[in-house]
Chain A
Amino acid sequence: MPVSSELDEIQAIFFEECTEGLATAEEGLSEMAAGDTSLDTINKVFRAVHSIKGGSGAFGHQALLAFSHSFENVLDGVRSGKIDPVPTVVKLLLSASDILSDHVRAAQEGSPPPSDASVLEQLDTVFANQGAEPEAPCPAPASDEADEFGFTPVAVQPDMLDEPDPFGFAPVTVSLDDVVLERPAAEWAVIFKPSRAAMANGSEPLLVVRELERLGGKVHEAKYEALPPLRELDAAEGYISWLLFVPGEIAEAELRECFDFVAPDSVVEISRNEPAAVSYVCSDKPQVDSGEEGVERPALKLVDQSGSTVAAAPKQERSSEAPSLTIRVDLTKLDQLLNLVGELVIRNSILADRLSPADKERVELPQLSRLTRQIQDSVMSLRAQPIRQAFSRVPRMLRDLSAATGKQVMLEVSGEATEVDKTLIEKIGDPLTHLIRNAVDHGLETPEERKAAGKAPEGVIRLSAEQKGGRILVRVADDGKGIDRERVRAKAVEKGIVAADAVLSNEDIDQLICAPGFSTAETISNISGRGVGMDVVRSNIEALGGRVEITSVPGEGTTFTLVLPLTLAILDGMIVRLGDQRFVLPLASVIESVRPEPGQVHSMTPDNEVIELRGSYLPVRRLTDVFGIRTKHSRAPEESLVVVVESETAGMVGLMVDTIDDRREVVIKSLDENLYPIRGLGGATVLGDGSIALILDLEALVTAPVSQPLNLKGLAA
């Protein structure tokens, strides 16, 4: 039992890594599609697919393994320059990555694998034809290789010589070739000496050696020189080192991968013995424990011996070997930490409240407060992730959409490095999907329509993210036809959403598309148009404490802006008092507060009051009524305050409260953690004195009918 649960856990990590790997691959392939076919980019994709393949084999996902293997083959061909990353190939790779993600999902859910036959066949064909691609120009891959191995472009690469010469060049023109032909095998010399730390970690050098052997490597020598006399032997020390030779056609990165799990201070020296160079001399080298020194040496030696290695080699080594300093942490642990830090902040202010004014002036308290705040910020930043993760699935979606609709779409992404709370990333995924679908389905025109309108046939969707003040703005903009306001209005009237004679501004009409049950698509497509899209988007975003803004210019396109809070855990709030209870209003919705003059608040009916404000009338809600709070004497409007808030659904509304206490940041505690969500409340928070204040959910409040008051049981008479 424990074994299987442990396996499940490891498997879960594997799938998590798959998701990251797929995102990386997608990103890299998109860069390649945009013309960046640098080795770094290709390697990035290769590594991602390679590790998915490795894991899938380990966990016995055969279909996934088989597909990723073919995928990897082609990537390897591209990487080594045998397959030219022409647009057709990149396109094939993109669809392969789509299928790969389907495969991963199938493996994860245990569902039958997707049909991959056609892509698989294309991959295998490309792989089989590698090097023989007629359009593959010789110089391009050759110069790529030259950078890596230091050949000048005229030299024939040793790699190519292993293959039947595809171009029919006779290897006679360059003198170096003769040497190469005599000893065609360039070799990697690998010295591996596990460190004491590696031994302490329980690393098994044999596994590394086996892995190298799998790549075709052979142990040339195991060296015992460093072995001390038996008396001085320290059983925990690693004394033995191995010298292996690995065939030259293996990519360096692949070699490096064998050492991925070796403790970083172990000696790993990889150098390339070009055929012209004399054999690698190693016996004269004293064994060193310092990894740093060990890495320096072969670089120097390489230059000495082969003379053909370029200076770029060590640099590349470092970049591929640099350990990624990340750690995987269970999100619940972070949440717990955040919770505790929030508590610390509160205790800090309780302490401040209790101290005498003289003590407050002392340095210790401000210092403590600042430290606490810094800890809080750091913990918050731990949860912050680049929004790229939410964006990464968009390109694929667009490809599918483009295929389904026949519309040509180009995606422009910016600000994907913007960091937002992890939970936010998870929660904006669905709204983003809806918006992108809408943009393609409703926003963009068909190529013919676009041409007729004098636009380029290819539509553009811009996806961007930026942080502005305490808000994150995520925009989805298209350059399509814009919102057809006449039609939207007609539809809304037809559906009974607005009255036929309603006076609506353009903005009002634009917002109508977010009304529940609204859909203007003439034919219901399976992409969007079920009329559930936009209102779901809006309610999801509002649930996150954000809002949706729509701007549209007829003929030029529509932009949806998601205005999101920076974090879900802390709210900038206004603390208001009602009876003897305190509530928190989200400050972002507060427009102003007014103390009404006598006669400024009019009763229209007993339940309906309005306040006259600079010539216009706003509805006023008495929170005491909405919550059913009975205070000893009903306050006259002149003794109360009206806080004007802006709500998405009801526009500007005045809320009547007794007083405003304070304005501060509060840590949101969800009610459903120990109870369940309550309509009208966005959660609760613990105030400085340890008491609880309920956070008001304005949208639910202003739309709650007064006839059904949200009874506040404890205070109800």
Chain B
Amino acid sequence: MNNQTSTSERKIVTFSLGARSFGIDMSSLVEIREWEEPTPLPRVPTYIKGVANLRGTVIPIIGLAERLGWEASVPHSRSCILVVMIADKQAGFLVDEVSDIVLINSSQIQPAPEIEIAEPGVIAGLVQVNGRAADGQTGEGGTMVSLLDLDALNVGRQLDVAA
């Protein structure tokens, strides 16, 4: 990996779940919506909050924090739904706050160590992100962002396995 001197750049959307920062590839993002209470579904895992109407398409709304094994995030005024496209299926992820869109270099991504998350594979890698200079938020050394592997979060797939 390190011998790759590729300078391919990727755009990622960063967001927070509690105190943690996460990122997903911009290319998977369909849109960002305000939080709206979804219609609950019977007989689904707790992290599936229900379904919502996305311009005529019914999409599942996933509590991402619960999905990753943390305490459910309580929706608040800055909560958002990130609508993503995973393997031709759309899903909405409930996140606490969308932070930024940053450009990173693929070479900056480090493989994720086996960490506390119950399910391996959902974190594709870690990347250090410096806050935008204009924000004046540049912390010491920036923020550590965990890049999510969306395919591992595919609800359709997960539930097929569970069934």
Q: How many residues of B are counted as interface, with CB atoms below 8 angstroms from the partner's CB atoms?
A: 30
B91 at the A interface (CB under 8 A): yes
A443 at the B interface (CB under 8 A): no
Q: How long is the Cα–Cα vector from A673 to B59 in the complex, in angstroms?
A: 8
Given contacts A674-B89, A676-B160, A686-B53, contact A711 B42 (CB under 8 A): yes
- Which among B46, B50, B59 is the interface contact of A674 at CB below 8 angstroms? B59
- Which among B48, B55, B57 is the interface contact of A713 at CB below 8 angstroms? B48
B90 at the A interface (CB under 8 A): yes
- Contact between A669 and B40, CB atoms less than 8 A apart: no
CB-defined contacts of A681 to chain B, threshold 8 Å = 41-42
- Contact between A678 and B58, CB atoms less than 8 A apart: no
A369 at the B interface (CB under 8 A): no
B76 at the A interface (CB under 8 A): no
CB-defined contacts of A339 to chain B, threshold 8 Å = 56-57
A714 at the B interface (CB under 8 A): yes
CB-nearest residue of chain A to B52: A692
Shortest distance in angstroms between A284's beta carbon and chain B's nearest beta carbon? Answer: 65
B156 at the A interface (CB under 8 A): yes
- Contact between A669 and B58, CB atoms less than 8 A apart: yes
Given contacts A673-B57, A675-B60, contact A714 B159 (CB under 8 A): no
A343 at the B interface (CB under 8 A): yes
CB-defined contacts of B42 to chain A, threshold 8 Å = 627-628, 678, 680-681, 710-713
CB-nearest residue of chain A to B155: A675
A166 at the B interface (CB under 8 A): no
Q: How long is the Cα–Cα vector from A581 to B50 in the complex, in angstroms?
A: 12
Q: How long is the Cα–Cα vector from A680 to B44 in the complex, in angstroms?
A: 12
Given contacts A673-B89, A674-B59, A686-B58, contact A693 B39 (CB under 8 A): yes
Shortest distance in angstroms between A577's beta carbon and chain B's nearest beta carbon? Answer: 13
Given contacts A671-B51, A713-B46, A713-B48, contact A692 B40 (CB under 8 A): no
Shortest distance in angstroms between B40's beta carbon and chain A's nearest beta carbon? Answer: 3
CB-nearest residue of chain A to B50: A714
A315 at the B interface (CB under 8 A): no
Number of A-B contacts (CB under 8 A): 96
Question: Which B residues from 63 to 105 make CB contacts under 8 A with A?
Answer: 89-91
CB-defined contacts of A679 to chain B, threshold 8 Å = 43
A227 at the B interface (CB under 8 A): no
A694 at the B interface (CB under 8 A): yes
Given contacts A674-B156, A676-B156, contact A715 B40 (CB under 8 A): yes
CB-defined contacts of A35 to chain B, threshold 8 Å = none
A505 at the B interface (CB under 8 A): no
Question: Which A residues from 293 to 326 make CB contacts under 8 A with B?
Answer: none
A569 at the B interface (CB under 8 A): no
A115 at the B interface (CB under 8 A): no
- Which among B39, B49, B55, B155 is the interface contact of A694 at CB below 8 angstroms? B39
- Contact between A343 and B56, CB atoms less than 8 A apart: yes
Shortest distance in angstroms between A366's beta carbon and chain B's nearest beta carbon? Answer: 23
A89 at the B interface (CB under 8 A): no
CB-nearest residue of chain B to A626: B42
- Which among B38, B57, B60, B160 is the interface contact of A669 at CB below 8 angstroms? B57
- Which among B40, B52, B58, B160 is the interface contact of A671 at CB below 8 angstroms? B58
CB-nearest residue of chain A to B40: A714
CB-nearest residue of chain A to B43: A710
CB-nearest residue of chain B to A346: B56
CB-defined contacts of A403 to chain B, threshold 8 Å = none
A-contact bits for B123-156, CB 8 A (1 contact / 0 none) = 0000000000000000000000000000000011
- Which among A627, A670, A676 is the interface contact of B159 at CB below 8 angstroms? A676
- Contact between A581 and B40, CB atoms less than 8 A apart: yes
Given contacts A684-B51, A713-B46, A714-B50, contact A674 B58 (CB under 8 A): yes
- Contact between A675 and B156, CB atoms less than 8 A apart: yes
B-contact bits for A94-120, CB 8 A (1 contact / 0 none) = 000000000000000000000000000
Q: How long is the Cα–Cα vector from A680 to B41 in the complex, in angstroms?
A: 10
Shortest distance in angstroms between A625's beta carbon and chain B's nearest beta carbon? Answer: 12
- Contact between A674 and B57, CB atoms less than 8 A apart: yes
- Among A343, A711, A714, max chain B CB count under 10 A is at A714
Shortest distance in angstroms between A610's beta carbon and chain B's nearest beta carbon? Answer: 24
Q: How long is the Cα–Cα vector from A161 to B120 in the complex, in angstroms?
A: 84
CB-defined contacts of B90 to chain A, threshold 8 Å = 674
CB-nearest residue of chain A to B47: A713
Q: How many residues of A are counted as interface, with CB atoms below 8 angstroms from the partner's CB atoms?
A: 33
- Which among A672, A675, A680, A692 is the interface contact of B53 at CB below 8 angstroms? A692
Q: How long is the Cα–Cα vector from A676 to B89 in the complex, in angstroms?
A: 10
CB-defined contacts of B39 to chain A, threshold 8 Å = 581, 684, 691-694, 714
Q: How long is the Cα–Cα vector from A713 to B46 in the complex, in angstroms?
A: 6
Q: How long is the Cα–Cα vector from A670 to B156 in the complex, in angstroms?
A: 13
Q: How long is the Cα–Cα vector from A711 to B48 in the complex, in angstroms?
A: 12
- Contact between B156 and A678, CB atoms less than 8 A apart: no
Shortest distance in angstroms between A695's beta carbon and chain B's nearest beta carbon? Answer: 11
A459 at the B interface (CB under 8 A): no
CB-nearest residue of chain A to B86: A674
CB-nearest residue of chain B to A701: B42
- Contact between A678 and B41, CB atoms less than 8 A apart: yes
A690 at the B interface (CB under 8 A): yes
A10 at the B interface (CB under 8 A): no
A140 at the B interface (CB under 8 A): no
CB-nearest residue of chain B to A667: B56
- Contact between B58 and A712, CB atoms less than 8 A apart: no
CB-nearest residue of chain A to B59: A674
Shortest distance in angstroms between B7's beta carbon and chain A's nearest beta carbon? Answer: 27
- Which among B41, B55, B59 is the interface contact of A343 at CB below 8 angstroms? B55
CB-nearest residue of chain A to B41: A678
Shortest distance in angstroms between B19's beta carbon and chain A's nearest beta carbon? Answer: 26
Shortest distance in angstroms between B12's beta carbon and chain A's nearest beta carbon? Answer: 23
Shortest distance in angstroms between B86's beta carbon and chain A's nearest beta carbon? Answer: 9
A337 at the B interface (CB under 8 A): no
- Contact between A712 and B40, CB atoms less than 8 A apart: yes
CB-defined contacts of A680 to chain B, threshold 8 Å = 42-43
Q: How long is the Cα–Cα vector from A674 to B52 in the complex, in angstroms?
A: 11
Shortest distance in angstroms between A626's beta carbon and chain B's nearest beta carbon? Answer: 8
- Contact between B58 and A684, CB atoms less than 8 A apart: yes
A158 at the B interface (CB under 8 A): no
A342 at the B interface (CB under 8 A): yes
- Among B42, B56, B89, B155, max chain A CB count under 10 A is at B42
Q: How long is the Cα–Cα vector from A672 to B160 in the complex, in angstroms?
A: 11
CB-defined contacts of A343 to chain B, threshold 8 Å = 55-56
CB-defined contacts of A331 to chain B, threshold 8 Å = none
- Which among A669, A670, A672, A694 is the interface contact of B41 at CB below 8 angstroms? A694
- Contact between B58 and A673, CB atoms less than 8 A apart: yes
A524 at the B interface (CB under 8 A): no
B-contact bits for A675-717, CB 8 A (1 contact / 0 none) = 1101111001010001111100000000000000011111100
- Contact between A712 and B41, CB atoms less than 8 A apart: yes
- Contact between B56 and A674, CB atoms less than 8 A apart: no
A340 at the B interface (CB under 8 A): yes
CB-defined contacts of B45 to chain A, threshold 8 Å = 713
- Contact between B56 and A692, CB atoms less than 8 A apart: no
CB-nearest residue of chain B to A693: B39
- Contact between B44 and A713, CB atoms less than 8 A apart: yes
Q: How long is the Cα–Cα vector from A627 to B156 in the complex, in angstroms?
A: 22
Given contacts A669-B58, A674-B91, A713-B48, contact A691 B41 (CB under 8 A): no
- Contact between A690 and B53, CB atoms less than 8 A apart: yes
- Contact between B43 and A711, CB atoms less than 8 A apart: yes
Q: How long is the Cα–Cα vector from A673 to B91 in the complex, in angstroms?
A: 11
Given contacts A676-B159, A684-B51, contact A692 B43 (CB under 8 A): no
- Contact between A714 and B57, CB atoms less than 8 A apart: no
Residue pairs across A and B with Cβ atoms less than 8 A apart, 12 shown, are A339-B56, A346-B56, A671-B51, A672-B156, A673-B89, A674-B59, A674-B89, A675-B48, A675-B89, A676-B163, A712-B41, A713-B48
Shortest 4 CB-CB contacts between residues of A and residues of B: A714-B40, A710-B42, A343-B56, A692-B39
Given contacts A676-B156, A678-B41, A714-B38, 10 further A-B contacts (CB under 8 A): A343-B55, A676-B159, A681-B42, A686-B56, A690-B53, A691-B53, A694-B41, A711-B43, A713-B40, A713-B49
